[in-house]
Copies of this chain bind each other. A is one copy, B any other.
Amino acid sequence: MSHMGYFCLMALDRDHVLRSAAALLTRRSTATMDEVAKAAGISRATLHRHFAGRDALVRALEQLGIAECEAALDRARPEEGPAAEAVRRLVREIQPAAGLLAFLYGENQLWEGDRQHEGWQRLDTRIGALFQRGQRDGAFRIDLSPVWLTEALYGLIASCAWATLDGRVASRDFPTMIAELLLGGALRREEP
């Protein structure tokens, strides 16, 4: 195998392993490195050649989660059109990453350290800016802070991802359930 081919295959494998691990850890966040390897169809030795250890694997998953969120945010074009529509687009684009997000959300290990990945702050800022824009435009109420709305969005994504895994919520309803609750709430609107 040529030198160039080596790196290409490693990169492909790495991504495949990462996504398999994400899928497994979403369901069982305490899965063993053995199980992760088995789920990816490789041996534990090879898994270790990709990721130095469990911590490195989780960090890589964190990186992947951040990247997918930022990509979803890019695709959602949060600066364009009505803020409410932008939120709906964001929820729709972020759905494929919801499972991974839910896993990372529950991995307290990532947050308890005094030093957390800067990517999360970048995301918080961008999502917070979207809610802030909605408030400036008069579309969103101002008694719920953008920080809390951002936090609530994460929480609802994680909740819905878990509920979907357990079959309590249909996968196709994911975007509607989250966006409609977050935007409109449970109260019925008065007919105009």
Hey, which chain B residues are within 8 Å of A166, CB to CB? 111
Annotate A139-169 by CB proximity to B: 1 below 8 A, 0 otherwise.
1111111011101101110111011001011
Contacting residues, chain B, for A151 (C-beta < 8 A): 159-160, 162-163, 168-169
Query: Inside 8 A of A149's CB, which chain B residues have their CB?
Result: 181, 186
Is A144 a contact of B106 with CB atoms below 8 Å?
no
Bound Cα distance from A187 to B192, whole angstroms: 15
Interface centre among A134, A147, A159, A186 (most CB of B within 10 A): A186
Given A140-B187, A182-B181, A188-B139, A108-B148 contact (CB < 8 Å): no
Number of identical protomers: 2
A139 pairs with B187, CB closer than 8 A: yes
Contact A187 B27, CB 8 Å, known A151-B168, A155-B155, A177-B144: no
Residue A144 contacts which of B148, B186, B190 (CB distance < 8 angstroms)? B186
User: How many residues in A have their beta carbons less than 8 Å from beta carbons of B?
Assistant: 52
Mind listing 25 A-B residue pairs with CB under 8 Å? A28-B108, A84-B186, A111-B166, A140-B187, A140-B188, A141-B187, A141-B188, A143-B176, A144-B177, A147-B168, A148-B168, A148-B177, A149-B181, A151-B159, A151-B163, A151-B169, A152-B156, A155-B155, A155-B156, A155-B158, A155-B159, A181-B182, A181-B185, A184-B185, A184-B187
